[in-house]
Amino acid sequence: MEILNPSDIQSQYGLKTLEKLQQAGSKGTSLKLGFPKECNPDEKRICVTPGGASVLVANGHEVLVERGAGSQAHFPDQEYADAGATLCDSPDQLYRQAEIITKVAPPSPAERKLMQKGQIVISALHLGHVKPDFFADFIAKNATGIGFEFIQSTDGGYPIVRMMHEITGSMAVQIAARYLETNQNGPGLILGGISGVPPATVTILGAGIIAEYAARTAMGYGAQVFVLDTDLGALRRLENALDRRIITAVANQQYLGAAIKSADVVIGAALTEGHKAPCWVTDPMVASMRAGSVIVDTVIDQGGCVSTSRPTTHSDPVYTEHEVIHYCVPNMPSNVARTATYALNNVLVPYLIDIGDAGGFDAVLWSSPDLRNGTYIYRNMLTKKSLSGQFDIPYREIDMIMASRM
């Protein structure tokens, strides 16, 4: 029997798009799909790999990629060209030609000016930082907005969010371990301890996907792990998933205060999908922590769950408040851009194929609950009640908009 090298297995199976090649049927339509280079220098991801581009081209679609869009994820322009994509020299050229723009970060003000009438934009929304003028720009252009945070499958899961949260949870502990080191002005601790020296204590706020992967990684290091959440059912599920190797508690003031005070690392992961993150940790709680302790607020892109958190960048990721090191980078998976790009590609490419096979975006809304759930602006109307309440903008349910146009 042939013995395969692990790197060959990864190359052959782990890093390839697994979509089935299929030419669009008679009901399908050819789409012009644009993948721009992110204008934020800290955002290194792109939503499609060269392999994903070849799948889209094979399904009859025109793929437009801005030059340099994949370079920081180590996907050179030539690989996209070899896959059949057209390389655009500027974002203006790409936005003028594409029907659907698929990107990672929310469109910046400059990018929103480039949007064309009736264009469809699929991206993250970052609810903690978006302003009312963002939605006004979409409505003025009669553009359709689909948000990563809202794309929800029929099983109740959020496929894109889950992928990024798995990466974020794993990275959070890895980052915290680095900032506990002496040369990072930390207290000089190792997460797992050694014989005769107890491990560090990691307190995780929330019991969702970020928390699960953070807990798995922290336990892999050998740390003592506490997890707090307001949802007792979520704590039970996490205990079962991790074989009760963690300590859990309900996130009330008493338990929160004690857990924060005793922590060497706090991972902020409290989040309800589609809503701004709840703020659980107060200034006095942070002030009670030991000097040199580390807070990694992984939900800062949704507003953060620690009162002392404020957004930082990959180029300047930390600051100190109350002698506690804070790491609050909104787009953490960008620092593992290649892995994150594969993850985004594997979720988004099938959705784009579905749009073409259905005959366009209006048609796919009837057959794809995922994309219907993901749409937050459609036909000049905000379609999410949660956004309406947050930004005081009138809304209308997307089902009602669709029904009214039958």
Question: What Cα–Cα distance (Å) separates residue 15 from each residue in 46, 66, 167, 340, 343?
Answer: 15, 22, 16, 11, 9
Read off the tokens for 309: 């958190």
Which residues share a beta bridge with 294? Answer: 265, 325
Q: How far apart are CA 258 and CA 228, in angstroms?
A: 11
Active-site hit among 301, 326, 357, 370: 301
DSSP E strand stretches across 341-401 = 375-378, 381-382
Question: Are 338 and 49 a contacting pair, CB within 8 Å?
Answer: no
Active-site hit among 126, 229, 264, 370: 126
Sign of CA dihedral 309, 42, 93, 104: negative
Q: Is 282 exposed, middle or buried (0-12, 13-18, 19+ CB in 10 A)?
A: middle
DSSP E strand stretches across 254-323 = 265-268, 294-297, 318-321
- Is 301 tagged catalytic? yes
Q: Which residue has the tokens 């491990």?
A: 199
Q: Which residue has the tokens 């749409």?
A: 375
- Is 8 tagged catalytic? no
Q: Which residues are catalytic?
A: 126, 301
